[in-house]
Every structure is written in structure tokens, then in C-alpha cells.
Amino acid sequence: MKTIEEINRRIKDHSAIVLTAKELCDLVRSCESIGVDDVDVVTTATRGVMSGTLAILSFPIADPGVFSRAEQVSLNGVPAHVGPCPNEHLGIVDLIIHGTAQRDRRYGGGHLFHDLIRGAEIDVVVRTPEKEILRTLSIDSIPYARMLTTRSAYRNYSAFVNPGEQAPSIFSVADFGGGCREAVFGGCGELNPLEKDHGTIGTGTRVLMNGAIGYVIGEGTRSAPDRRNLSLTADMHGMNGSYIGGFATSAGADVINSVAVPIPILDEEILSATSRLDSEIELPILDVQTRSALGRTDYSQVWSPDPGVTFDPARCIHCTTCDVDCPTGAFDVGGGRIAGDLCCNCGHCVSVCNGGAFTAEMGAIPMHGRTIPIILRHSDRKGAIKLADELKKMIEAESFLLTEPAERLGEP
């Protein structure tokens, strides 16, 4: 049995063998024999909609004595919660901004976080008993900017169908079609960190969160033994704006996050867990309204070897009113191109484009003798593959070492 300390020594002397989860699974598919001595670390990752996200910001907005306390604050029109302390007469504001807070359906906390991290200037409005203060700030003007997830990187996500009438939903971009005629799902399957873990992740585990080094601070809200999730934190100053963004649903704005987690291969049981393929990972099918179980499938039904979305300008028929209401704003209708740093490969464009200019292997779920097509993905496997590869390179370059958790998931 290996130890994390031993693996870190190998990382430091550049002898550690690091594989991404995709590389390991590809070897398993090709019937290669892999033993504990053949790999030291497997890098896993997930990218997708993670509603339980917030940012804590603290920054000076005026000289001391200009105002007694902040009563209301907004950034680019997105409302923030003022606190946890009033900072009387100091000219400083402390804020909590939720990823699902919104100026409108098309711009919310996730969009704001993306703009902040990529260095854009943000309009700040502070209402006080004395006056209204208007300022323009960037991330460099905010000395404390920390992101936290209350729940993220679930071990197992779900597929959803709507047996009832068409209705708005946080799980759809347009109204969710009724009659079980369409399906949506989340989770990166064999790339997903908690699906590949066997007791190595816990409080204090070092991770990559939106490209910045961060840490697991415990289990998240709604975590359960058979469906665990993580609470994470990282400094926003070190994040990459291409890994985080906003996502507009038919029921409001949401946020996209990216998380990569190293799995140390300490013994055969951990290696066996990290070697599990999509076909071995269950995908529950739920009623989107009641969350009751309707069936089960696996991730091999919804993920193909090519998880990306492509756009062919030659097939664009230049509709008078383009129906591609891109939830991340990645598709430039006028310019006819996809912005790679915004696209999350959700596939909504594939299901609504009248000219068939967008293509992707979206998959389908079998349920009660029917095959229901996937019309939206809440997770970005292409982005997760990229993030797992980035973490692998950081480990190989000795710029990322593994940590021993202070407390394993599920421990008291």
C-alpha cells in the first residue's frame, strides 16, 4: 500500500506516474492490464451547473467617515447581501453574492463572477443612509474575494423528464416539454471525482476550483451516503474566467463551475474505483416536478467519445429571428461563431437550430420501452477533460502536491 507522502516524494523527483481519468478508462477499454505500481495519481474533473455557489467580497468603497453603514449593494445590477458586519464609518463593505442572484434571467451571479475573474470593470452601487455611492471596480480593487460552494461535484447527478405539462424549470433553457418527449441530464460520468473516489477525498483535500488551487471544506448541503457532494473554497484572484460563467435557464440565472480533484492510487480498491467506466455508473431518471424515480440507465447512454458541440457556418440559414437562445451567451448570432471561453457544450443549440448548423452526439435515455432524446446537458465533459489534463500537467510540473485529508467524507 502506497501513501500520499510517498506519492508526493515521487512528484517532487518527477517519477510519479499521473493519468487523467479519461486516459485510465481508455486503457481499460483497450483491455490493458493496469496495476497499482503503474499509476500514482488519477486526475478527475467535472464542469457544469452548480447552483450552490457564492462569493464573499470585502473592499473599500469610500474614505472613512463618508457613510455610517451600507444598506443595499449591487454589482452590475446583481443584488448582494450586505454583511456579515456593517463596518461602521470605515468606508468598507462586506458582501455575499449568490451565483443564482440575478439582475434578470440573462445576467446573474455566475455572469458577474465570470466578468470579475477575467478582469472586467464592474459597476458598484452602494445605498447608505447618507447617500448613494457609485464606483467602478475590478478584481484588482477587491483585496478579499473568495468563492465557496455549499454543494457541488455530486457523486451522482440525474436525468430528468417531464411527464406533465410544459413548464419553466431550472433544468431547461426553454420551457421543459411535457409528455416525457425530451430529457436533460447532469454529471460527467467516468470523469466525475466522487464517482471515481474510494475514501481518499475529505476535508482539506487540495483541488482545482475554476483553475485556482482550493480545498474541500467538508460535505455539502443535501449530501447523503449514496449521493455525496462537496463544499469547496478558493481565492477568486487565482481563477480562470474561462472555467466559470453564467447559465440562463427558463426559471432564472444559474452558475457554471469547474472542479478537478486528484485521486491518489494507494491500493487495488482505489484503482478499481477509478477504473469504472460510463457503463458501470448509474444515471437515475427522475420526474422533474416531483423528483420521484421513474427509471434508471447509465452514462454510456448519454456520453459519446466526442462530447463537444460544433458549428458549421455553411449550414446556417440565417433565420430572421434566430432561435438559438444560448444560455451562456457563447453564440454570436451576428458574427456566426461560438466563443470558446463561454461555451459549455450543453447542446441546447443542437435541439433548437432550424438549419441544423450545430451538431453533437447528445444521446438518449431508454425508459419503459421508449427512447427519449437528450435536448440539454447540465455538465460539460469536454471542459472536464481539459481541466483534468491541466491538473495532470500541474502535478507533473511539481506545482500541485496532494494533501492528506483531516477528515474523510462521512466521518463524524
CA Rg, the chain, in Å? 22
pLDDT at 86: 64
* pLDDT score for 412: 59
CA dist., res. 270 & res. 5, Å (int): 17
Task: Point out the least confidently predicted range of 49-63, 80-94, 138-152, 362-376.
Answer: 80-94
The pLDDT value given to residue 158: 95
Cell of 144: 478579499
| pLDDT for position 84 | 67
Integer Cα distance of 42 and 354 in angstroms: 41
Element (H, E) at 88: none
What would the pLDDT profile of 173-200 be if each residue is shown by its tens digit?
989 999 999 999 999 999 999 999 999 9
pLDDT digits (tens, 9 = 90+) for 282-322: 999 999 999 999 999 999 999 999 999 999 988 888 886 67
Q: Taking 90 as the threshold, does the pLDDT of residue 249 lie above it?
A: yes
Cβ proximity of 260 and 43 under 8 Å: yes
Write down the pLDDT at residue 219. Answer: 95
- For residue 132, what are the β-bridge partners? 127
Q: Are 365 and 301 in contact (CB under 8 A)?
A: yes
Give the separation between CA 161 and CA 288, rounded to whole angstroms.
Answer: 6
pLDDT of residue 61: 94
DSSP classification of residue 362: -
- Average pLDDT estimate for 260-273: 97
Three-class SS state of 252? strand
User: Which grid cell is 360?
Assistant: 453533437
Of the candidates 184, 188, 186, which has an alpha carbon nearest to the alpha carbon of residue 174? Answer: 184
Say if residue 323's pLDDT is above 90. no
Confidence band for 410, pLDDT divided at 50, 70 and 90: confident
* Contact status, residue 48 vs residue 256, Cβ threshold 8 Å: yes
How high is the pLDDT of residue 24?
98
Residue with cell 502506497: 2
- Under 8 Å between Cβ of 14 and 354: no
pLDDT of 335 reads 67
Report the C-alpha gap between 350 and 26 in whole angstroms.
27
Average pLDDT, the chain: 94
Q: What angle do CA 49, 395, 154 make, to 5 degrees?
A: 25
CA 61 to chain centre: 31
312 vs 387: CA distance, rounded Å? 26
Q: What is the pTM of this model?
A: 0.94
Tens-place pLDDT, residues 65-76: 999 999 999 999
Three-state DSSP class for residue 288? coil
Q: Is residue 404 scored above 70 in pLDDT?
A: yes
Contacts of 75 (CB under 8 A, 6+ apart): 95, 97, 112, 116, 122, 123, 124
Taking 90 as the threshold, does the pLDDT of residue 328 lie above it?
Answer: yes
Note the pLDDT tens digit of each residue in 80-122.
999 867 677 899 999 999 999 999 988 999 999 999 999 999 9
State residue 339's pLDDT score: 75
DSSP string, 178-245: STT--EEE---GGG-HHHH-SS--EET-EEEETTEEEEEEEE-TT-BTTB--EEEEEEGGG--GGG-E
- In this structure, the number of other CB atoms found within 10 A of the CB of residue 66 comes to 14
For residue range 351-382, what is the model confidence (pLDDT) as tens digits? 889 889 999 999 999 999 999 999 999 999 99
